[in-house]
């Protein structure tokens, strides 16, 4: 007994559908009649299944007798010994050397016959245990041999029958399908739809290599003769598409397993599948119903192919279906405004259908081009871990294209599970749309954010109603302003929109967006003020303008209001510079794009600030050239222009047209030079050139310029130093100039220069002492004396003074030589030796020179001599006789032999100026004060001395009594002993009187009041008073 796998390919499936259609091409609604077409789809399901091969070999060893009336009965028993023939299909699959085994067979003499039986177990023969059930099989044989009936049985052989699969098929087909709709004026595209099938193995063994091969739909009834076609386009299994075949290879389906697939089907006309049936049959030659592994076929109405997007699921498409509503009732329900509500999900991962609960919901949010989101909110609660479905009319009659949906907890809803469905009403000839959502275990009263495509929400923007046009400050331009309108008839901000602007020269012109000369982008909120400047217009003209708004979807608003404006003239253009010299520039220009009458003015200047340097007169539009003369060489001139209507006086703006650089002027002669043996510096007349001019100077030692000795290179100043020249040589100089643009003049001769001879003589240095100084060898000086050095240099001949001193060096008292940088002084007293010398630029060094100096910082000492009799009075005053002579002696101290000697004695008498003392002198009677000091020959001055004395009698004392009572200074009655004061008397003024002096008076001394302050006289002096000795003013006394 052999076990094997038999290919069962005789499960015949027939799908029958009744399609409700509208006949005729684009018929009027009032004339529509419903037509029906019946179609059939034939399919064949095959799989590999378990079968057994039973073989019997019979050998007839009798050479003369055959085995006649040969019969074989196959007996099958279960483990309990009970006959199980009814659980197996047994069929002779082949036989050799025998004609039959039913009692009519013959085995020929001396031959061997072989018979094979195919044994196929029924669906339940294998039981439920994966190990299967064991059955025994034997053959009972009977035959006649030479007229004698014989019977014999074979030994029993065992087979193990494993559990068999049992397949349940579920077919899914939509109710309403879409293609061209005869009741509409447009030709709608064909929309393919799925014919789905789900296979569930409800048996206990696997279905191996299961597949379904489908034929194309066949129309089996079409009474109205509709021109319609149905076709299967391809297949989907799992997540993949199998093109160009209608065979679906499901493969192995394990016990309890589920798989599903779909054929993609299309129809040429829209319609409804009002009836859908599926039947099957099993080939009788393989056991018929006994061995069939297909247990049943069911059909459902497909609402939508969806996705059970739970964790761990296969991610393949699933079917959302209605299992309860008869297809014949669906059209009536839809016509009454009801909907086909799904009640189950057929999933590829779960054998049992998943229950779906419908909930009510609401949609909030104003969708438009600016707002592309709305909120869907469930308005009913339900338990957890359930699938829910909700549906409502789609926003904007289905025009809003759904992009995405996000639940409030952040879950992204698969695009398979939220969709917009549609239904065509035969009665109204219109489509209605519904928004549908399928979700698992949503939160209570869950909210979903729905995002729609902006393009699908787009409507034409609102028109502009306040367009304003105005003249711009620039010719050929006009300004526009308006208030922005909104997207979708003023409902939101325009993003990525455009403004279309048309300008015409007449208000009677045709205005249309297709004629717009300006097309600009905009992203603007409604009400925001917009501005635009139109360019390139004809100047000196009036323009009329309209504007349109276009959104990103291409929708264009209606016309704006008509606006108009006058456009200023366009200034002259296409400026061309002609011939240029050092003082002139020729220019030409074209007139701007202007209406007549018009004229043009052009001027030249070095800046943009009026007044212009040179201006051309206004010219008509046909005279467009001018030569500007009297310009400055090598100067950049800026040219400006303007256009003007000569009748109205309206002008364009001033515009910059171009610039030109005048050439350099010819150069003059050498103005000055500094000559040296190997170099000279020359300065030349730059003519009228500006500071931006550059010069190139050449030197030659030949008058014909056959040899260029030196060249300066281009320099920016009119002076240059040539070095490295030959001494005592004649050089001819010439130069040329170039302007800022590099344009050069011809060479012009500057003059002739000759270098000096080579310097061979050392410099000569001279020392000088500022005051004070005295004598020579040594020179007496003080610390205030400034010592300076100067040097001059001869070159080749003594006295030519053509050399150049570069440094002077000096040393004091054999100290290190220092570079002389300015006058210096010697502070300390004593004798000093000063050495000094100079060096010229050729390194000629002068032999050191020496000068001696003695610094004397000590002043002389003076004594006064009185020649005559003298005495001292009671007050300590020195009194000398009138015949006494005054004299002075002075000497300059000798400090280690350093003394410059006495220069003079200076004397001041009685506050007068100092004068040089010559010889002894006498003084008149009275009080005297002498000041004196001595000065040596370097102006060291002694600190002045003061000497006071009286000549003649000693001063008397005059005491004020004020007895006269009149305060008169000259009245003797006011003085003690009636002795009024005389010159050089000592005055004592007390009491409480006020006394006035009105004449010049000289006192020796003056005492006012007393030390206790008891008397408080007031002395008023209105003329000069001289007090030679002391003035004492006591407390409470006043001198004024």
In a domain, 344, yes or no: no
* Distance from C-alpha of 14 to C-alpha of 41, rounded to nearest angstrom: 6
Position 104 pLDDT exceeds 90: yes
**DSSP element (H, E) containing 334:** helix 327-335
Judgement on whether residues 453 and 584 belong to the same structural domain of the protein: no
Of the candidate ranges 87-96, 341-350, 406-415, 741-750, the one whose mean pLDDT is the lowest:
741-750
Place of tokens 């039913």: 102
Judgement on whether residues 922 and 986 belong to the same structural domain of the protein: no
**CA 653 from centroid of its chain's CA atoms:** 35
pLDDT of the residue at 670:
84
In three-state secondary structure terms, 164 is coil
What are the residues facing 242 on neighbouring strands? 235
pLDDT tier, 28 (very low <50, low <70, confident <90, very high otherwise): very low
What are the residues facing 407 on neighbouring strands? 448
pLDDT tier, 21 (very low <50, low <70, confident <90, very high otherwise): low
Percent of residues in the chain assigned helix, strand, coil, to nearest 5: 5, 50, 45
Non-local (6+) Cβ contacts of 973 within 8 A are: 963, 964
First and final CA of the chain: distance in angstroms?
169
* Contact of 933 with 862, CB cutoff 8 Å: yes
Give the total residue count for the chain: 1040
Judgement on whether residues 106 and 25 belong to the same structural domain of the protein: yes
Non-local (6+) Cβ contacts of 178 within 8 A are: 188, 190, 191, 193, 270, 422, 424
pLDDT of the residue at 949:
85
**Which tokens in the block code for residue 869?**
């009799």
Place of tokens 């999900």: 345
Position 6 pLDDT exceeds 90: no
In a domain, 318, yes or no: no
Judgement on whether residues 425 and 463 belong to the same structural domain of the protein: no
Judgement on whether residues 925 and 982 belong to the same structural domain of the protein: no
**Which tokens in the block code for residue 860?**
């002389």
pLDDT of the residue at 17:
67
* Contact of 697 with 717, CB cutoff 8 Å: no
Non-local (6+) Cβ contacts of 888 within 8 A are: 862, 863, 864, 865, 905, 907, 917, 932
Of the candidate ranges 163-167, 975-979, 994-998, the one whose mean pLDDT is the lowest:
994-998
In a domain, 285, yes or no: no
pLDDT, average across residues 334-361? 93
pLDDT of the residue at 848:
96
In three-state secondary structure terms, 114 is strand
Non-local (6+) Cβ contacts of 698 within 8 A are: 705, 708, 710, 711, 712, 733, 734, 735, 747
pLDDT in tens, 620-658: 888 889 999 989 888 889 999 999 999 999 999 999 999
Pairing of strands 878-880, 870-872: antiparallel
pLDDT, average across residues 861-876? 82
In a domain, 80, yes or no: yes
Alpha-carbon distances of 727 from 677, 753, 756, 795, rounded to whole Å: 4, 11, 6, 11
In three-state secondary structure terms, 160 is strand
Position 748 pLDDT exceeds 80: yes
CATH number at residue 94: 2.60.40
Q: What's the pTM value of the predicted model, to 2 decimals?
A: 0.50
Of the candidate ranges 20-24, 30-34, 959-963, the one whose mean pLDDT is the lowest:
30-34
pLDDT, average across residues 766-789? 95
In a domain, 416, yes or no: yes
Non-local (6+) Cβ contacts of 738 within 8 A are: 664, 693, 694, 695, 696, 714, 744, 745
In a domain, 479, yes or no: yes
pLDDT tier, 492 (very low <50, low <70, confident <90, very high otherwise): low
Judgement on whether residues 830 and 780 belong to the same structural domain of the protein: yes
Alpha-carbon distances of 216 from 18, 42, 225, 316, 398, rounded to whole Å: 16, 8, 19, 25, 34
What is the DSSP code string of 548-569? EEE-TT--B------EEEEEPP
* Distance from C-alpha of 312 to C-alpha of 365, rounded to nearest angstrom: 36
Residue 820 CB neighbours (<10 A): 20
In a domain, 69, yes or no: yes
**Which tokens in the block code for residue 309?**
């997007």
Judgement on whether residues 148 and 23 belong to the same structural domain of the protein: yes
pLDDT, average across residues 875-890? 84
Q: What is the mean pLDDT of the chain?
A: 88
The residue out of 128, 161, 194 marking a domain boundary is 161
Nearest to 121 by CA among 81, 72, 162: 162
pLDDT, average across residues 970-996? 84
How many domains are contained in the chain?
A: 8
* Distance from C-alpha of 291 to C-alpha of 90, rounded to nearest angstrom: 11
Pairing of strands 387-393, 354-358: parallel
* Contact of 341 with 323, CB cutoff 8 Å: no
pLDDT in tens, 71-91: 999 999 999 999 999 999 999
* Distance from C-alpha of 838 to C-alpha of 605, rounded to nearest angstrom: 58
* Distance from C-alpha of 235 to C-alpha of 241, rounded to nearest angstrom: 6
pLDDT of the residue at 432:
92
The residue out of 457, 483, 514 marking a domain boundary is 457
The residue out of 661, 687, 715 marking a domain boundary is 661
**Which tokens in the block code for residue 385?**
């871990």
Q: What are phi and psi of 884, to 5 degrees?
A: -80, 145
pLDDT tier, 805 (very low <50, low <70, confident <90, very high otherwise): very high
* Distance from C-alpha of 914 to C-alpha of 903, rounded to nearest angstrom: 15
Nearest to 783 by CA among 736, 832, 743, 745: 832
**Which tokens in the block code for residue 745?**
């003049």
Nearest to 69 by CA among 106, 109, 98: 106
Pick the more confident residue, 1034 or 499. Answer: 499
* Contact of 937 with 900, CB cutoff 8 Å: yes
Pick the more confident residue, 1024 or 258. Answer: 258
* Distance from C-alpha of 999 to C-alpha of 1018, rounded to nearest angstrom: 17
Judgement on whether residues 656 and 600 belong to the same structural domain of the protein: yes
CATH number at residue 681: 2.60.40.10
Judgement on whether residues 750 and 775 belong to the same structural domain of the protein: no
* Contact of 311 with 411, CB cutoff 8 Å: no
* Contact of 951 with 882, CB cutoff 8 Å: yes
Judgement on whether residues 27 and 144 belong to the same structural domain of the protein: yes
Share of the chain above pLDDT 90, in %: 55
Q: What are phi and psi of 751, to 5 degrees?
A: 145, -170
Strands of the sheet containing 529-534, edge to edge, are 468-471, 478-483, 529-534
pLDDT, average across residues 489-502? 77
pLDDT tier, 618 (very low <50, low <70, confident <90, very high otherwise): confident
Non-local (6+) Cβ contacts of 345 within 8 A are: 306, 308, 318, 319, 320, 321, 353, 354, 356, 387
pLDDT tier, 30 (very low <50, low <70, confident <90, very high otherwise): very low
Domain that holds residue 989: 957-1039
Strands (E), 581-619: 584-590, 599-605, 614-615
pLDDT of the residue at 245:
78
In a domain, 741, yes or no: yes
Judgement on whether residues 849 and 899 belong to the same structural domain of the protein: no
Non-local (6+) Cβ contacts of 816 within 8 A are: none
Nearest to 768 by CA among 781, 752, 753: 781
* Distance from C-alpha of 560 to C-alpha of 950, rounded to nearest angstrom: 123
Nearest to 926 by CA among 887, 885, 957, 880: 880
Judgement on whether residues 52 and 135 belong to the same structural domain of the protein: yes
DSSP 8-state code for residue 353: P
Q: What are phi and psi of 285, to 5 degrees?
A: -65, -10
pLDDT, average across residues 305-313? 92
Nearest to 697 by CA among 662, 685, 754: 685
Position 32 pLDDT exceeds 50: no
Taking the CA atoms of residue 681, residue 685, residue 689 and residue 692 in that order, the dihedral angle to the nearest 10 degrees is: 10
């Amino acid at each position: 007994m052999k076990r094997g796998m038999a290919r069962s390919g005789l499960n015949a499936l027939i799908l029958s559908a009744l399609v409700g259609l509208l006949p005729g091409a684009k018929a009027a609604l009032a004339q529509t009649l419903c037509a029906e077409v019946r179609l059939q789809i034939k399919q064949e399901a095959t799989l590999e299944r378990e079968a057994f091969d039973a073989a019997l070999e019979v050998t007839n060893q009798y050479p003369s007798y055959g085995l006649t009336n040969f019969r074989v009965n196959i007996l099958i028993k279960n483990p309990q010994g009970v006959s199980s023939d009814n659980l197996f299909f047994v069929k002779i699959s082949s036989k050799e050397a025998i004609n039959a085994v039913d009692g009519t067979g013959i085995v020929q003499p001396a031959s061997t016959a072989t018979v094979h039986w195919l044994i196929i177990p029924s669906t339940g023969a294998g039981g439920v245990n994966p190990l299967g059930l064991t059955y025994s099989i034997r053959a009972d044989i009977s035959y006649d041999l030479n007229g004698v009936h014989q019977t014999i049985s074979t030994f029993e052989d065992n087979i193990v029958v494993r559990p068999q699969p049992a397949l349940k098929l579920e077919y899914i087909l939509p109710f309403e399908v879409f293609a061209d709709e005869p009741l509409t004026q447009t030709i709608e595209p064909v929309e393919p739809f799925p014919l789905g099938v789900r296979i569930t193995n409800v048996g206990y063994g696997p279905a191996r290599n299961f597949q379904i091969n489908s034929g194309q739909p066949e129309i089996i009834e079409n009474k109205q003769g509709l021109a319609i076609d149905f076709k299967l386009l391809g297949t989907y299994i799992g997540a993949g598409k199998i093109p160009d075949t209608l065979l679906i290879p499901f493969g192995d389906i394990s016990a309890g397993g589920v798989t599903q697939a779909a054929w993609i089907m299309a129809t040429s006309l829209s319609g409804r599948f009002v009836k859908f049936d599926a039947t099957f049959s099993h080939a009788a030659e393989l056991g018929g119903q006994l061995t069939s592994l297909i247990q049943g076929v069911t059909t459902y109405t497909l609402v939508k192919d969806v996705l059970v997007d739970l964790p761990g699921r296969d991610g393949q498409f699933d079917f959302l279906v209605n299992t309860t509503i008869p297809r014949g009732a669906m059209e009536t329900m839809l016509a009454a405004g009801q909907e086909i509500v799904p009640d189950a999900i057929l999933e590829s991962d779960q054998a049992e259908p998943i229950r779906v609960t419908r909930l009510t919901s609401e949609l909030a949010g104003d969708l438009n081009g600016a707002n592309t989101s709305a909120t869907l909110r469930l308005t009913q609660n339900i338990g957890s871990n359930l699938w829910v479905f909700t549906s409502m009319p789609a926003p904007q009659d289905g025009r809003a294209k759904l992009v995405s949906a996000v639940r409030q907890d952040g879950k992204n809803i698969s695009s398979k599970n939220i969709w917009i469905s549609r239904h065509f009403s035969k009665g109204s000839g219109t489509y209605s749309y519904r928004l549908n959502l399928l979700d698992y275990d949503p939160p209570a009263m869950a909210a979903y954010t729905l995002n729609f495509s902006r393009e699908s929400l787009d409507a034409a923007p609102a028109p502009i109603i306040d367009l304003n046009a105005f003249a711009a400050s620039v010719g050929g331009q006009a300004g526009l302003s308006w208030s922005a309108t909104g997207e979708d008839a003023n409902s939101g901000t325009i993003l990525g929109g455009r403004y279309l602007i048309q300008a015409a020269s007449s208000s009677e012109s045709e205005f249309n967006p297709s004629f717009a000369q300006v097309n600009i982008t905009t992203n603007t909120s409604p009400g925001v003020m917009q501005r635009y400047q139109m360019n390139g217009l004809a100047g000196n003209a009036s323009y009329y303008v309209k504007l349109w708004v276009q959104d990103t979807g291409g929708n264009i608003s209606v016309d704006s209001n008509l606006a108009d404006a006058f456009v200023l003239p366009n200034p002259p253009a296409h400026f061309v510079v002609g011939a240029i010299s050092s003082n002139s520039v020729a220019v030409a220009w074209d007139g701007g794009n202007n209406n007549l009458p018009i004229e043009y003015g052009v001027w030249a200047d070095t800046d943009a600030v009026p007044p212009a340097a040179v201006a051309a007169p206004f010219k008509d539009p046909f005279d467009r050239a001018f030569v500007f003369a009297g310009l400055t060489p090598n100067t950049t001139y800026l040219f400006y222009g303007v256009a003007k209507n000569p009748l109205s006086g309206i002008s364009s703006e001033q515009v910059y047209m171009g610039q030109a650089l005048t050439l350099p002027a010819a150069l003059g002669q050498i103005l000055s030079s500094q000559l040296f043996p190997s170099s000279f510096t020359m300065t030349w007349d730059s003519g009228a050139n500006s500071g931006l001019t550059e010069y190139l100077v050449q030197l030659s030692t030949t008058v014909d310029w056959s040899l260029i000795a030196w060249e300066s290179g281009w320099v920016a100043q009119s002076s240059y130093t040539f070095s490295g020249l030959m001494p005592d040589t004649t050089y001819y100089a010439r130069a040329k100039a170039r302007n800022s643009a590099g344009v050069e003049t011809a060479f012009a001769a500057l003059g002739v220069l000759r270098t000096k001879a080579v310097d061979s003589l050392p410099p000569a240095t001279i020392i000088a002492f500022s005051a004070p100084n005295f004598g020579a060898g040594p020179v007496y000086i003080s610390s205030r004396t400034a010592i300076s050095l100067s040097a001059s240099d001869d070159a080749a001949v003594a006295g030519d003074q053509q050399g150049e001193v570069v440094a002077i060096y000096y040393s004091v008292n054999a100290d290190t030589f220092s570079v002389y940088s300015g006058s210096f002084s010697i502070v300390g007293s004593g004798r000093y030796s000063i050495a000094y010398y100079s060096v010229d630029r050729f390194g000629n060094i002068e032999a050191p020179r020496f000068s001696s100096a003695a610094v004397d910082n000590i002043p002389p000492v003076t004594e006064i001599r009185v020649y005559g009799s003298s005495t001292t009075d009671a007050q300590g005053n020195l009194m000398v006789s009138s015949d006494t002579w005054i004299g002075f002696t002075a000497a300059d101290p000798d400090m280690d032999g350093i003394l410059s000697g006495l220069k003079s004695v200076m004397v001041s008498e009685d506050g007068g100026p100092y004068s040089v003392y010559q010889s002894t002198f006498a003084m008149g009677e009275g009080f005297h004060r002498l000041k004196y000091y001595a000065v040596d020959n370097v102006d060291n001055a002694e600190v002045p001395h003061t000497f006071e004395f009286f000549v003649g009698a000693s001063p008397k004392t005059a005491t004020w009594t004020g007895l006269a009572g009149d305060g008169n200074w000259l009245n003797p009655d006011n003085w003690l002993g009636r002795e009024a004061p005389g010159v050089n008397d000592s005055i004592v003024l007390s009491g409480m009187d006020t006394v006035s002096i009105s004449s010049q008076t000289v006192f020796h001394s003056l005492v006012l009041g007393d030390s206790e302050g008891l008397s408080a006289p007031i002395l008023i002096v209105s003329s000069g008073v001289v007090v030679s000795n002391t003035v004492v003013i006591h407390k409470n006394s006043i001198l004024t």
